[in-house]
Amino acid sequence: MTDTPVLALDNVSKVFGRGDGAVYAARSVSFALKAGRTLALVGESGSGKTTCARLIMREYQPDQGQLLFRGTPATHAMADYRRAVQMIFQDPFSVLNPAHTVHYHLERPLRLHQKELNKAQREAAIAELLERVKLDPALMAPKFPHELSGGQRQRISIARALAVGPEVIVADEPTSMLDVSVRLGILNLLNEMKRSLGLALLYITHDIATARYVAEDIIVMYAGQIVEWGPTESVLTDPQHPYTRLLLSAVPDPDVRFAQSSYNAEMADVENIRRLSAVPQPVVSEVGRGHFIRPIPG
């Protein structure tokens, strides 16, 4: 397996508005997605993680920097890109068309991207896709979305993404709108897909504990910038950036009662930490093996 990342963002910035009112939704963002590995992208709302997802899905173009697909810049005329990069959405209730059956949802991608298959081969492919996501093909294929649970819909959504044979999957909060007892099944499925199909996974979430469960590497964003990044274990057990420390101390942790939490020390300075973390910082500091931060000024 070559070491060239399948997909990479190279110093990408995206600005909205002009002049004084200009907002950097993403500022000098660089990261790489490698086959068979999951990269977690965590941050609060407004941190820029959704912007990154949209840039990767080419909903809009970067204002600075570029998108690299297999090492070469991804330009408009790349039909291959569309097939290779697929997305899984957050809301299980709007991810499937209520007017069509499961079978239809899985047939369309095959008809569009694997035109060479005849009807029998297509049916076999659809059955295989459903089995991959642990659903019974005979039972599920004729059903309409309103007959399915949230977890089942999300599985169909994953099956649809896999139908075109992608290399990269962008999962945008895939479990945040599902019941707690159902989430693990979906995460396990993503892990398995990654291993068996060699996918590169970008896992976007605000639930950092799940990031630890699925991702080898992690990126923490705030105000459009990546403030800390590196191997998940390293960043989560030994966070160096004040914002990361603030974020992690606020994550619900049943082992720590409020009174004993480190949040109290961090909390005293929340305003300050946020203000300093938002300052554009081009300097990068290495704080561990593969573990980097953008230090705050002062």
Residue 199 binds other proteins (CB under 8 A): no
* CB nearer to other proteins: pick between 252 and 298: 252
C-alpha distances out from residue 295 to 119, 228, 241, 292, Å: 58, 9, 7, 9
Residue 248 binds other proteins (CB under 8 A): yes
Residues 99-138 within binding reach of other proteins (CB under 8 A): 99-100, 108-109, 112-113
Name the minimum Å distance from CB 36 to other proteins: 17
Name the minimum Å distance from CB 96 to other proteins: 6
Residues 6+ apart with CB under 8 A from 85: 7, 56, 57, 69, 166, 167, 168, 169, 170
Pick the binder of other proteins from 35, 204, 235, 246 (CB under 8 A).
Answer: 246
Q: What's the CA gap between 19 and 14, in Å, rounded?
A: 14
**CA nearest 47: which of 251, 215, 267, 243?**
243
In the DSSP assignment, the letter for residue 182 is H
Name the minimum Å distance from CB 158 to other proteins: 12
Query: Could you identify the residue written with the tokens 């570029």?
Result: 66
Pick the binder of other proteins from 39, 56, 67, 95 (CB under 8 A).
Answer: 95
In the DSSP assignment, the letter for residue 69 is E
C-alpha distances out from residue 165 to 39, 76, 240, Å: 20, 20, 39
Name the minimum Å distance from CB 250 to other proteins: 4
Residue 143 binds other proteins (CB under 8 A): no
Residue 181 binds other proteins (CB under 8 A): yes
Residue 272 binds other proteins (CB under 8 A): no
Pick the binder of other proteins from 76, 115, 257, 289 (CB under 8 A).
Answer: 257
* CB nearer to other proteins: pick between 3 and 271: 271
Reading the block at residue 190, the tokens are 């993503």
> Would you state the torsion angle of the CA atoms of residues 148, 111, 169, 171, taken in this order, to the nearest 10 degrees?
-30
9 burial level (CB within 10 Å; 0-12, 13-18, 19+) = buried
Q: Which stretch binds other proteins (CB under 8 A): 194-202, 259-267, 275-283, 286-294?
A: 259-267
* CB nearer to other proteins: pick between 19 and 252: 252
Name the minimum Å distance from CB 40 to other proteins: 12
Cα angle, residue 169 at apex, residues 172 and 184 outer, rounded to 5°: 60
298 in helix, strand or coil? coil
* CB nearer to other proteins: pick between 96 and 129: 96
Query: What are the strands, taking DSSP E only, across 193-258?
Result: 200-205, 217-222, 225-231
For residues 56 to 85, the per-residue mask of contacts with other proteins, x marking binding by CB under 8 A and - elsewhere, is -x---------------------x--xx--
Pick the binder of other proteins from 27, 155, 160, 291 (CB under 8 A).
Answer: 160
**CA nearest 5: which of 40, 25, 30, 41?**
30
Binding interface with other proteins (CB under 8 A): 44-45, 57, 79, 82-83, 86-87, 89-91, 94-100, 108-109, 112-113, 157, 160, 164, 179-181, 183-185, 187-188, 191, 206, 208-210, 212-213, 236-237, 246-258, 261, 263, 267, 270
